[in-house]
Structure 1
Amino acid sequence: MTMGLLAGDGGGGGLGYNTSCGKTSGLVWNLTSSYADQSNEASMMSATVIMFLLAALFFNLNLFSGLSDTSAILDPKVRVVLSKALSLFLPVMSYLFSEAKNAGGLACGGAAAPELPLRARLILTWMLLVELLRNKVEEIRMQRGDDGWHRGTVERAGRVVWLGSLVFFNLRGAGRKSVLGILWLLCVAKLVQRVTFTLVGKNSLAYGKNARLIISYMHHVPHHQPLQQQHGDDADHGDELLQRCRYAVMGEDKLVNKPTPAGYSVTSDITTAPTTTTVGKIWRLAEDDPFLASVDQDGRLRRLCLSFALFKLLRRSFEHLPPMSEAETRDCRSLIFFEGGLYCSSKRSNRSNGQGEDEKAVAAAEELFQVMKDETIFLSEYYHSVVPVALASPFFLLANYLLLPAMVLLLCLVIVVLCGNGDVPFAFHSLRSDNYSVSFGVLRMARCLLTRVLSSPSVFFSTIDLSITLLLFLVLVYEQVWEFVVFLFSNWFLVSMLHGYAAKPRWRRSATFNWAIRRMLWVRSKMSHPDITMRQFSALRSCRLSRQLRMVPAVSLTLPTIPVPKEVKHSIAEYLLLSATSLQEEDDCDPTATRRGLLSNGQLAVAEYAELRRACKSESIAEVILAWHIATCLFEEKFPSPHASPSRDMVVATTLSRYCAYLVAFHPELLPENEESTERVFEIMEEDLRRTVGFWRYHLPAAVAPLLGSGYEQIMRLEERPNLAQALEMAEMSALQRGAILERALEKEAKCAAGVEGMWKVLADLWVQLMVYVAPSGGEEHVMGHAKVLPEGGEFVTVLWALATHTGMRRAAPVAVGSMEHV
């Protein structure tokens, strides 16, 4: 009855519409007429609900993606959800499209409708818009050997062909066919665009084949001895090693003569090749060129180019290629840590005035870890980006964002003319006459609908459908703008611009280029730049649910996440410097020896304490971590910081303790031992904790029943043995028992000459050593573990792993079980 009244409202006066709003009555009736048949009501309602949820999801996903250095990546958990939803979308909506088409035929008295019903056209519009939004979900895969993209491309091509058949075989009006035909053409353009990205990337020496090319390139890079060996330890060499660095930034693909059985034949004159930009060339140019020196006063651009060069070196680890040679790791170690390299030159020439030596060292550590963080961002964006940032260059900007849209616009005009059977005036006139939203105007139609949205169910449903369509259009426009902004202000495009500036002298004389660089840097300074973060997990304080459901990926997101404290970065950087020096000494004594440096599971930190040293002798690194984590938590409870801000050593010890415990609980694949063994150690510790504190105190939320405090004494009663040395050597003890005993030993030492601060210093050194010890993992399983966490934002241990890989830090390979039985 309501729909009949609305359809009969010609002038609109009876319903409160103005004269022009009366034209909307027929639209509302046509859009909601399928609900008249109650057998189709559920199908029509399902279409609206599905599209509302999907449109809201895409809207929120785009709205909160943010403009940051990692916004080219979509979180893999979100991608999985969207991929599964979109895989079911086309068949479900195709069925609902058929239902709407048939319902329109029934509404016309059972006769074949001369034109596709409005409801079916709306569903078809939704299907085309969602197909255009798939780019937000699909990664751009350019790595060699990854042939999985063929299947996805064929599936997407099949969807596009199916949608084209629905458009051109069901629509009759020239104007309606033109509008939906343009949307279909955009789907085709997006498909061709993605296929082109993949094929060009996979077959390019600058992208897909670059990892193999870099191996051949590095054979021609001259090796240098550390500068302190050449000129003496006390000489100030500035950044001489960086200025002489031949690591390729861009343009090395122009040096290839031909492929060979061993790789690629590269011209031997790589040091003077004008088309190739190296780290040293950028570093020297920043010192000599007035413009580059003015925009790179803090060295951020130079360090970004170094990160890009290191990213190219690290790609071979992810693509199953030969690792860096000993000579290459020795050079990289010198470049990063020794005199004339990154860390030491940053400490000597930090540009902040009035800084003391400690402040300069902290700033140098920040710069070192920012270089490694940028490298991991390059890695994650190369392998998991949904935006073509890896192809970023001025030429690609012109081709993809200027020439391609112009070509698509021309094809859209052709589609309009073809839909009008070649009659140009008729074709363009029908665009307005056959499409009510074009002739009447979307805003006027929305205003008319809103005046009746609360009083008429038909208008209410029409308003929802219109809102969904507008929301999808807005999301589509936003996604295109978002992609362009992310591309334009990405690290990739900035490195490409610097390569052009270094390799093409005419760019240095261009006022346009200088203006563009300054504007880019100004905008980037206003954008968010993610810091290195670490999650914090306490076996005694964190939520019990997060522990019990630790294998569910989303649960780890509930844990607190903090930026890595500068004290932690400084302590680890200083320890890595000592380790690099030790590695260099090992190399001087025996060039064939296995490089280990100062890798220690904490024994070096407690070498002076016999009772504590025994706790580090376990074969399982997970047992060592959990035992010392329990001891650190209990020691913190016993001796909290007397000041508002804890001491440096306390910050280092507590944050690294909680992060290492988080790795054991949530990412055992990143630790240097069997994943199942790590999980078993953690489960034993949990079971022991549950028995110790009781069922209710263990399972209730931490805010209701905190484990520490009232449960502290129960845990400490685990240590009832007077002989600590004998207790620590008992293999059957759990990590919780070992931790309680260790805390007693720490408390005993703290009451002696060492003092509380002295023991916090011991704990800080121990956790730094443990953190560095777990980082270097060259096994295939561990490398794939790091690759898995890259699109999730990466882990701090992945940054350390990359640094360890570059500098040649390795642990001795574990002895296989049973390997000694036949000796």
Structure 2
Amino acid sequence: MIAHELSFLHDYYYSSLPTSYSSSWLPILSISISLLTMGLSLLYLLLITVVILLYAFMGWPHHGQMQCFLNCHPSFQNEHEDFFYSSSNQIQYGNIFFDLAPVGLLAALVVLSEVREIACYIFSNWTKVFLICSYVRHASSWQKSHWKKKMLSLVLRRKCKLLNHWVDKMNQCSVLALHPSTTPVPLLGRLIPLLHRKKVPRAVKAALLKPLRSPNWKNRSNGVASLCTRLQLQADNNPLSTSNGVKGVADTMLVAHIATSILEVRTSEPLRQADSANEIAATHLSRYCAYLVAYVPDLLPDNNEWCKSLYKGIKKKAKRALAASGNTGQASLSPEALVQALSAGSEEAHDLLKNGAELRKKLVELAGNEGEEVAWELLAEFWSEMILYAAPSDNVAAHAEAIARGGELITLLWALLTHLGFISRPEAAMPNTPGDV
């Protein structure tokens, strides 16, 4: 339902459908123009096909794109007779098919474009709303007409993938490369950043809905307080406190992202169990929040340019720290060696990298005492509360641009929370001060 609502928002900003349905005859006029354009284009394609067949199979002479005629008229005269003769040569350059083929291709593209336009009108949500309203206003006549009921059923049941503005995918990126590669494609990706888009797992959806169903979520915590309480973090050893340089949403996300990424690295085991639902939710939301900080910070409460520069700085320092340890990637390090490399006291290390490594140590201690699944459950709850905290926004234009790109998970959450009455972030809950723990 939220996805359908966002499709209306997309059409409001980027489509002529709302204007077209302001009057009942405008869609009919638009479809008629599209059908006329398709008919003319198909007629032209038919004529081109006939001409090509005549040239190919009927022995018609081929005509070039350019023709050159050379005419010679030499003459001479004597005292008895006059002699005159003439000759002409015709030279052709190119082939007429080089003219017909591009125009035929253009006509075919016009036909496809008009087919898409007609599909947008017939199977759009605007058409469905229009038909439902007509059915309600004229229920008696619609119920008596068999073809009207059949048409309504056909349109309501059909979905056009071309109109699917929400693709149910989430972008993923990471400060620490989990599986670096030397193949040409990943090497090209280092020059041109390529994002990984993954289908939103069921575990992520379940984790996001869990806090909304809790009666205590009305306080809308960002997840930091509960995380610090479970890990028994005090003022002097809290890697998420403002005294350790964590001052905003982006800082908190990156510190927790680094801790989650390191915890995800495991020593090689002969029999490795499948990832649990909590681990899937935590890792996917962690990488998605890193993507938000790096590429779409306008959907977050912090400053755009500051978020981008923060992410680039941490990523650069992480590469230097790993290179200083003699390793080029995270996959070649054990978790302990990775923590040591990132938490080194050299100037190559970034404060947030150290905080992330320290937070991972606390999570490992919790996993050792209560089990690894408990640690992943805690992280899944934290990431769910964090992204739900960051989702409310008054930047409608940024969310509209996100919808035009195919939609963002945080945009769906923004729309959902707006319906629940949460239209702004509780600013008082954000500071990660020791008193919040």
Normalised TM-score (structure 1): 0.41
**Is the counterpart of residue 400 in structure 1 residue 9 in structure 2?**
no
| 8 Å CA contact retained: 1:536, 1:562 | yes
| 8 Å CA contact retained: 1:664, 1:679 | yes
Which residue in 2 is equivalent to 1:630?
258
In structure 2, the gaps of 5 or more residues are 67-91, 181-185, 430-437
Which residue in 2 is equivalent to 1:790?
403
Give the deviation of 1:396 after TM superposition: 3.6
Which residue in 2 is equivalent to 1:517?
152
Which residue in 1 is equivalent to 2:85?
none
- Letter paired with 1:442: V
Which residue in 2 is equivalent to 1:716?
339
**Is the counterpart of residue 380 in structure 1 residue 2 in structure 2?**
no
- Letter paired with 1:673: D
Compared CA separation, residues 747 and 673, structure 1 to 2 (3 A): same
CA–CA distance in 1 between the matches of 2:212 and 2:322? 40
Which structure ranks higher in relative contact order (CA pairs < 8 Å, sequence separation ≥ 6)? 2
Deviations 1:430-488 (A, max 9, x none): xxxxx9x96994343553699999x9995754212210011111111222222112211
CA–CA distance in 1 between the matches of 2:308 and 2:35? 57
SS of the equivalent of 1:539 reads coil
- Letter paired with 1:563: K
Compared CA separation, residues 528 and 379, structure 1 to 2 (3 A): closer
Give the deviation of 1:528 after TM superposition: 8.7
CA–CA distance in 2 between the matches of 1:381 and 1:691? 46
Specify which of 305, 310, 320 is matched with residue 681 of structure 1: 310
| 8 Å CA contact retained: 1:621, 1:673 | yes
Deviations 1:205-262 (A, max 9, x none): xxxxxxxxxxxxxxxxxxxxxxxxxxxxxxxxxxxxxxxxxxxxxxxxxxxxxxxxxx
CA–CA distance in 2 between the matches of 1:452 and 1:562? 57
- Letter paired with 2:292: L
Specify which of 198, 205, 212 is matched with residue 576 of structure 1: 212
Give the deviation of 1:687 after TM superposition: 2.9
Deviations 1:626-661 (A, max 9, x none): 111111111111378965631110111011011001
CA–CA distance in 2 between the matches of 1:449 and 1:464? 20
CA–CA distance in 2 between the matches of 1:622 and 1:440? 60
In structure 1, the gaps of 5 or more residues are 1-370, 413-434, 550-554, 584-596, 699-704, 722-726, 816-823
Which residue in 2 is equivalent to 1:148?
none
Give the deviation of 1:621 after TM superposition: 1.4
The residue correspondences of 1:191-590 to structure 2 (distance < 5 A) are 371-385=1-15, 388=17, 391-392=20-21, 395-402=25-32, 441-445=50-54, 447=56, 460-505=94-139, 506-524=141-159, 531-541=167-177, 558-578=194-214, 583=218
- Letter paired with 1:792: R
- Letter paired with 2:14: H
CA–CA distance in 2 between the matches of 1:573 and 1:450? 72
- Letter paired with 2:363: L
Deviations 1:416-439 (A, max 9, x none): xxxxxxxxxxxxxxxxxxx9x969
Give the deviation of 1:788 after TM superposition: 2.1
Which residue in 1 is equivalent to 2:279?
650
**Is the counterpart of residue 805 in structure 1 residue 418 in structure 2?**
yes
The residue correspondences of 1:25-64 to structure 2 (distance < 5 A) are none
Specify which of 382, 394, 403 is matched with residue 766 of structure 1: 382
CA–CA distance in 1 between the matches of 2:101 and 2:189? 43
Deviations 1:11-54 (A, max 9, x none): xxxxxxxxxxxxxxxxxxxxxxxxxxxxxxxxxxxxxxxxxxxx
Give the deviation of 1:545 after TM superposition: 7.0
- Letter paired with 1:686: K
Aligned positions, number: 378
- Letter paired with 2:240: C
Give the deviation of 1:680 after TM superposition: 3.1
Give the deviation of 1:787 after TM superposition: 2.3
Compared CA separation, residues 446 and 660, structure 1 to 2 (3 A): farther
CA–CA distance in 1 between the matches of 2:120 and 2:325? 50
CA–CA distance in 2 between the matches of 1:489 and 1:440? 32
SS of the equivalent of 2:225 reads coil
CA–CA distance in 2 between the matches of 1:566 and 1:652? 9
Deviations 1:690-724 (A, max 9, x none): 221128988xxxxxx54322375553114779xxx
CA–CA distance in 1 between the matches of 2:10 and 2:195? 23
- Letter paired with 2:411: T
C-alpha root-mean-square deviation of aligned residues, in Å? 4.0
| 8 Å CA contact retained: 1:381, 1:390 | no
Compared CA separation, residues 750 and 515, structure 1 to 2 (3 A): same
CA–CA distance in 2 between the matches of 1:660 and 1:439? 54
Give the deviation of 1:806 after TM superposition: 2.5
**Is the counterpart of residue 619 in structure 1 residue 247 in structure 2?**
yes
Compared CA separation, residues 390 and 653, structure 1 to 2 (3 A): farther
Deviations 1:743-796 (A, max 9, x none): 1111122111x2101111111111111111110122xxx333222222111211
CA–CA distance in 1 between the matches of 2:190 and 2:171? 17
The percentage of counterpart residues that share the same residue type is: 25
- Letter paired with 2:426: A
Specify which of 347, 366, 371 is matched with residue 755 of structure 1: 371
| 8 Å CA contact retained: 2:282, 2:376 | yes
CA–CA distance in 1 between the matches of 2:398 and 2:418? 15
Give the deviation of 1:535 after TM superposition: 0.7
Relative to structure 2, which stretch is displaced further, 502-511 or 754-763? 502-511
| 8 Å CA contact retained: 1:750, 1:756 | yes
Give the deviation of 1:733 after TM superposition: 5.3
Which residue in 1 is equivalent to 2:360?
743
Specify which of 734, 737, 748 is matched with residue 351 of structure 2: 734
Give the deviation of 1:577 after TM superposition: 2.8
Compared CA separation, residues 600 and 525, structure 1 to 2 (3 A): same
SS of the equivalent of 2:226 reads coil
Compared CA separation, residues 797 and 439, structure 1 to 2 (3 A): closer
Compared CA separation, residues 598 and 663, structure 1 to 2 (3 A): same
CA–CA distance in 2 between the matches of 1:515 and 1:624? 55
SS of the equivalent of 1:604 reads helix
| 8 Å CA contact retained: 1:532, 1:563 | yes
CA–CA distance in 1 between the matches of 2:234 and 2:171? 27
